[in-house]
Amino acid sequence: MVYIQLIAVALAIGLGAIGAGIAMGGATGSAYEALGRNPEAAQPIAQNLLLGLVFAETLAIYGLVVAFLILFH
């Protein structure tokens, strides 16, 4: 039973981190592409990028919360 919990915890954290990494990489790449095409729009692009990165980071935090719930329940 303990090994199943440890595997579930590892999957929860790992998949959450992979999802957040993919989302952050895509958002950052798109933001740099947009800045290359329109450098004058740096401020709105940066604001939207930061908001998107915050939302993507919550994926990793939710994975951590789920892992703690599995581990300590």
**Per-residue pLDDT, 13:** 93
- Answer whether 27's CB lies under 8 Å from 53's CB: yes
The model's confidence at residue 67, banded by pLDDT at 50, 70 and 90, is very high
Range of the domain at 37: 2-72
Longest dimension (CA), the chain: 57
Which are the contacts of 46, defined by CB distance < 8 A and separation ≥ 6?
31
Distance (Å, whole) CA 13 – CA 25:
18
Question: Mind listing the pLDDT tens digit for each residue in 17-62?
Answer: 999 999 999 999 999 999 999 999 999 999 999 999 999 999 899 9
Q: What is the CATH number of the domain that holds 68?
A: 1.20.20.10
Q: Domain count of the chain?
A: 1
1, pLDDT greater than 90: no
The model's confidence at residue 65, banded by pLDDT at 50, 70 and 90, is very high
